[in-house]
Amino acid sequence: MYLSALDYVTITFFTLDLLLRIIFCPNKLRFFFDMVNIVDTISLIAVYSHVIVKLCIPNEKYKESLVDIMEAIHLLRILRLLRILQKMRVFRVLAYSLKTGYQEFILVISFFSFAAVTFGCLICHLDGKNKILHIPDGIYWAVVTMTTVGYGDMYPMTFLGKVIAGCMAVLGSLISASLIPVFVNNFLFFYTNSNNLSLETKPKAKSKTRVGCTGKPKLQKPI
């Protein structure tokens, strides 16, 4: 009961927030093309549609179709956290770092995908009689192995399969080791520049002078 009341309060709050932002936004077209505003609008439409369906239509009739879809769309409300993250300078610097390093990211992902497909097909032919029977299973196993997750639901049984698994684990570690420093260096570079820029743009406190007993001006500490 209390959770339902809290849900209605939050729905009302976000509805008023969206309406006020629409009313006072100077550029309505740009407002509706913003991803965060699109998520807010879709999630609120899903919320009100879900309430209307529950009140006007029996749940049994739409139990496994329409209502479930509405409840799934409710998860979009989690993306409202992006509005908070957009205000944080660290998040903006991180997003800009990822944007500037997209070429290296695409290169690594392409190499990772090529290795996963190649080793997945290879392990399927060399060890296909045991646990890994199909090529999609082999690619799935290759991705899990290269990311060093290792669920254990699939694993090679032959000697050659184990050799391939070991090589893939090492290769995945090397790919991760080559990718992470690129983003870390970009992030540290932009974050340092962002800190320096924020310090330069802060208004400096002006020093005030006052005359002492000797007639010489004394420097007063900034307040």
CA pair distance 74, 202, nearest whole angstrom:
41
CA distance 192 to 166: 39
Take residue 48 and report the two structure tokens written for it: 């009100």
Q: How far apart are CA 49 and CA 42, in angstroms?
A: 10
**Contact (CB, 8 A) for 187 and 94:** yes
pLDDT per 10-residue tile (average), the chain, 223 residues: 75 86 86 81 79 66 59 68 74 82 83 89 78 84 85 82 87 83 84 80 53 47 48
Length of the chain: 223
48 C-beta neighbours (distance < 10 Å), count: 13
CA distance 179 to 136: 26
Beta bridge partners of 217: 211
**Quick one: pLDDT at residue 216?**
47
What does the pLDDT read at residue 207? 45
Q: What is the DSSP-derived secondary structure letter of residue 206? A: P
Write down the pLDDT at residue 62: 52
pLDDT for res 219: 45
pLDDT at res. 202: 65
Fold of 100-195: Helix Hairpins (1.10.287)
CB 24 within 8 A of CB 18: no
pLDDT for 223 equals 47
Q: Residue 132: name the closest of 114, 143, 120, 144 by CA.
A: 120
* Whole-number pLDDT of residue 64: 55
pLDDT at residue number 211: 44
Strand partners, 183: none
Place of tokens 């080559």: 178
Count Cα atoms within 13 angstroms, Cβ side, for 68. 6
What pTM value is reported for the model?
0.56
Q: Report the pLDDT value the prediction gives residue 173, as an integer from 0 to 100.
A: 87
Intervals of CATH 1.10.287.70 along the chain: 100-195
